[in-house]
A = this chain, B = another copy of it.
Amino acid sequence: MSAVEKAFHGLRHMIGTGRLGPGERIPPEGELCEELGVSRGSLREAVRMLAALGVIEPRHGSGTYVSQLRPEDVIGSLSLTLELLPLSGLLEVYEIRRVLEAHVAAQAAARCTPENIRTLFSLIDAMEATSDPAEASELDHRFHAEIARVGGNPTLATLLAVFRARSRKYQVFTLPEGPELRRKSDDDHRVLATAIADHDPVAAAGAAQAHVAQTERWLRAFMPPVEEVERVEAPGSAD
């Protein structure tokens, strides 16, 4: 096992076994190097790995702390990488998103309060009022995030936020067809919010699913034609 792996697994084991609990400060680099038997450089690489994964958090001058280890903490790490995926691989993500958005919409329909509903409709109003695509995209995000929040599962809300962020990169509303797409999108939002306000989980799930499917169709239709060339596996001769 390499030095970095040794440090990585050693640290992970300390956290997994409870020797280092959520929020706790881990020993300084010097001590860990001695205990794990690696140099500071290797230890620091392992620390950076765990930090990228949302497990620990170094603070300059203070120390390195274990995160709260909530599911959101580790799932949030996906946001750093999901936007690197090529569009072709994204359709599978959309299928997942469709299923989960439908679920949170149904949950929201069952749990929502009058105040939640007011918030949703005020977001829709603001969305329809603005002409700035960037602001519309931001409000769209907040609308769906609010539904996910009302759904009652922060982990699921985080996961969906990550998926949505990936889609937003494409800025579909800035296309020539943007205004028409936005009108259709606004209609979808009203249908969805109404179903939630009616406490109708089935209608809400259906509306959410249809909305995501619609977005997916737009992306496929208007985005640069996905390169259909098969992936070149090897940069060399036959690697």
Query: Beta-carbon contacts of A65-104 to B below 8 Å, as 1s and 0s?
Result: 1001111001101101111111001101101100110010
| Complex partner residue of A55 from B16, B71, B81, CB under 8 angstroms | B81
Complexed CA–CA distance, A239 and B15 (Å): 16
Complexed CA–CA distance, A65 and B234 (Å): 10
A219 lies within 8 A of chain B by Cβ: no
Given the known interface contacts A23-B232, A68-B231, A86-B69, the answer about A81 and B54 at a Cβ–Cβ threshold of 8 Å is yes
A41 lies within 8 A of chain B by Cβ: yes
Copies of this chain: 2
A99 contacts across to B, CB distance below 8 A: 99-100, 103
B12 in contact with A80 (CB, 8 Å): yes
Query: Which residues in chain A, 11-62, are within 8 Å of chain B measured between CB atoms?
Result: 12, 15-16, 21-25, 41, 44-46, 48-55
Complexed CA–CA distance, A99 and B154 (Å): 15
Mostly, the A contact residues are helix
B53 in contact with A231 (CB, 8 Å): no
Measured CB to CB, the residues of A under 8 A from B are: 4, 12, 15-16, 21-25, 41, 44-46, 48-55, 65, 68-71, 74-75, 77-78, 80-86, 89-90, 92-93, 95-96, 99-100, 103, 153-156, 159, 231-235, 239
CB pairs A–B below 8 angstroms (20 shown): A4-B48, A12-B80, A12-B84, A15-B84, A16-B83, A22-B86, A25-B235, A41-B41, A49-B51, A50-B52, A53-B77, A53-B81, A69-B86, A69-B89, A70-B89, A71-B90, A77-B77, A77-B81, A96-B153, A96-B155
Q: What are the nearest 9 A-B pairs in CB distance?
A: A92-B155, A49-B52, A45-B48, A74-B81, A53-B81, A99-B103, A92-B153, A52-B52, A48-B49
For the complex with contacts A21-B232, A23-B235, A96-B156, 4 further pairs of A-B residues with Cβ separation under 8 Å are A23-B233, A44-B45, A53-B53, A65-B235
